[in-house]
Amino acid sequence: MGDEMNTQFKKGVLELIVMIVVSEKDIYGYELVKKVCEVVQVNEGTIYPLLKRMTNESYFETYLQESTEGPPRKYYHITANGLLAMMALKKDWLEFSNQINTFINKGDN
């Protein structure tokens, strides 16, 4: 049960975390994965399909930038659309987590 639940939670909030990271600065995939992993443990195989989908949904735009180490890197940039979606998701998440926290803490009285 624990892992299953954990996976579902992560899926829901992962999109929001990714959006927040990209909104702070344009970033390339590997660096993004490292940043996200500071918050929740995920593997690259989870992040890249998410980035692809969010780019298709026009939340992100991508561009290539030369790299000093190896081939050019694909950078992700959040769009106006992405910022709106991020704010909506953030609002939903905060409301949801507040409800859960209130419920959980009720038992502590």
Q: pLDDT tens-digit profile of 68-92?
A: 989 999 999 999 999 999 999 999 8
Paired residues of 76 in beta bridges: 27, 62
Reported as a single tens digit per residue, the pLDDT across 22-36 is 999 999 999 999 999
Q: Could you give all domains of the chain from N- to C-terminal order, each with its CATH number?
A: 2-106 (1.10.10.10)
User: pTM of this prediction?
Assistant: 0.84
**Dihedral (CA of 20, 23, 25, 26) sign:** positive
Report how far residue 38's alpha carbon sits from residue 82's, in angstroms, rounded to the nearest whole number. 22
| 85 Cβ neighbours under 8 A, 6+ residues apart | 19, 57, 59
